[in-house]
Amino acid sequence: MGIDPLLSTYKWLERAFNRLNTKDTVGWYQAPVDTTTTSPQESPSTILNEAYCELLLWNTKFTFPETLELDEIRYNQVHIATMRLLLISTIMTVLSHLTGSVLRDYESIKTMLKSEMIILLDDFPQKKKN
């Protein structure tokens, strides 16, 4: 027939469908169970939800879906912002447990630590590594 202009999009949705069927989803969430269908994982909204979650943790060995190419840069920026937030949250949680009530009781120390971490993370990669 010819070249399929949406091949990457089909593969992207197919990967999401297959992950739902094997219960190996991208995130920790569970697909909602719909008692009106025989296979709850096959609902279009569940497949799209899983597919869009994959975009936030995109593996560069796959071609980005053609239908979303205009938004690829924006998805990469969201990914980087999410990783920065994850790092700051993890560090703050560990520090909170190590210092006990000192960090919890003094909001100014927490604020100072957050701002220092944000400064350190300014050198965080501005684009995902391939």
Q: What is the dihedral of CA 113, 101, 85, 15, to 10 degrees?
A: 160
Non-local CB neighbours of 32 within 8 Å, separated by 6+ positions: 40, 46
- Tally of CB atoms within 10 A around 26: 17
Q: How confident is the model at residue 127 (pLDDT cuts 50, 70, 90)?
A: low
- The tens digit of pLDDT for each residue in 41-91 reads 578 988 999 999 898 888 889 999 999 999 999 998 888 888 888 888 898
Report H helices in 100-129.
101-105, 107-120
- The tens digit of pLDDT for each residue in 77-117 reads 888 888 888 888 898 888 888 887 777 778 888 888 888 88
pTM of the model: 0.67
Question: In this structure, which amino acid lies at residue 88?
Answer: I
